[in-house]
């Protein structure tokens, strides 16, 4: 009888991934968090958005993109006309870095198996990288506003992180132009 409690097997189910994330002490970030932040949305989405890391609101609630940047992401999802079952949101790392600093390369690497396991299970047709950290964690993209097809046929699109639109308002127009250009990727 196979050992069902190996890490490999646990990583093949959502509750298994969640347990490993909640138990994870592989970097120091777990020491300062209130809640680890795992995912939001559908378990089998057409589109997965990858953000950066939990912020203050997310750390308090355990829900990704529930603060100011989340409102802008919600607006994008509405604009894209995605149905509830068509999208999910995850982050490159699951713990809030102190003072919301950018995750380090080491933190991204340590957390990457969780990101990979989530993507494998969700198996989306489109992966939207929200900014540079998501691109670094995912490992490939064609650059801002460009689509790259992976070997396994997924479309990877890198666009602005919603928070980047808060700091530079003119990016909003560019962001929505990207979404217009690629809407065929997630249209019914």
Among 51, 97, 103, 124, binds ligand URA (CB under 6 A): 51
Q: Least distance (Å) from ligand URA to the CB of residue 74?
A: 12
Q: Say whether residue 175 binds ligand URA (CB under 6 A).
A: no
Instruction: Give the up-direction half-sphere exposure of residue 74: CA atoms within 13 A in the CB hemisphere.
Output: 9
Nearer to ligand URA, 69 or 115 (CB): 69
Among 52, 59, 86, 135, binds ligand URA (CB under 6 A): 52
Nearer to ligand URA, 10 or 112 (CB): 112
The one segment of 13-21, 46-54, 148-156, 165-173 that binds ligand URA by CB under 6 A? 46-54
Considering only residues 67-126, where is the footprint of ligand URA by CB under 6 A? 69, 91
Nearer to ligand URA, 9 or 100 (CB): 100
User: Token match 């992180």: residue?
Assistant: 161
Report DSSP letters for 108-154, one per residue. Answer: HHHHHHHHHHHHHHH--SEEEEESHHHHHHH----SBT-EEE-TTS-
The radius of gyration computed from the CA coordinates of the chain, to the nearest angstrom, equals: 16
Q: What are phi and psi of 161, to 5 degrees?
A: -70, 140
The one segment of 12-20, 48-56, 106-114, 121-129 that binds ligand URA by CB under 6 A? 48-56
Residue 67: helix, strand or coil by DSSP?
A: coil
Q: Are 17 and 117 in contact (CB under 8 A)?
A: yes
Residue 20: helix, strand or coil by DSSP?
A: helix
Kind of pairing, strands 47-51 and 40-41? unpaired
Q: Least distance (Å) from ligand URA to the CB of residue 188?
A: 27
Among 54, 97, 103, 124, binds ligand URA (CB under 6 A): 54
Which residues contact ligand URA by CB under 6 A?
Answer: 37, 51-55, 58, 64-65, 69, 91, 163
């Amino acid at each position: 009888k196979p050992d069902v409690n190996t890490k490999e097997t646990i990583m093949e189910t959502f509750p298994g991934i969640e347990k490993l994330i909640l138990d994870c002490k592989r970097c120091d970030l777990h020491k300062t968090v209130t809640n680890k932040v795992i995912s939001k949305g559908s378990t089998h989405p057409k589109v997965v958005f990858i953000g950066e890391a939990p912020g203050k609101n997310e750390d308090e609630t355990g829900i990704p993109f529930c603060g100011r940047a989340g409102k802008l992401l919600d607006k994008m999802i509405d604009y894209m006309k995605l149905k509830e079952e068509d999208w999910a949101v995850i982050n490159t790392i699951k713990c809030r870095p102190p003072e919301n600093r950018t995750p380090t390369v080491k933190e991204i690497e340590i957390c990457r198996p969780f990101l990979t396991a989530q993507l494998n299970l969700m198996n989306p047709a489109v992966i939207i990288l929200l900014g540079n950290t998501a691109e670094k964690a995912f490992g490939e993209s064609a650059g801002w506003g460009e689509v790259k097809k992976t070997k396994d046929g997924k479309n990877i699109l890198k666009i602005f992180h919603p928070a980047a639109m808060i700091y530079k308002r003119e990016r909003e127009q560019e962001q929505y132009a990207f979404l217009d250009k690629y809407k065929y990727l997630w249209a019914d």
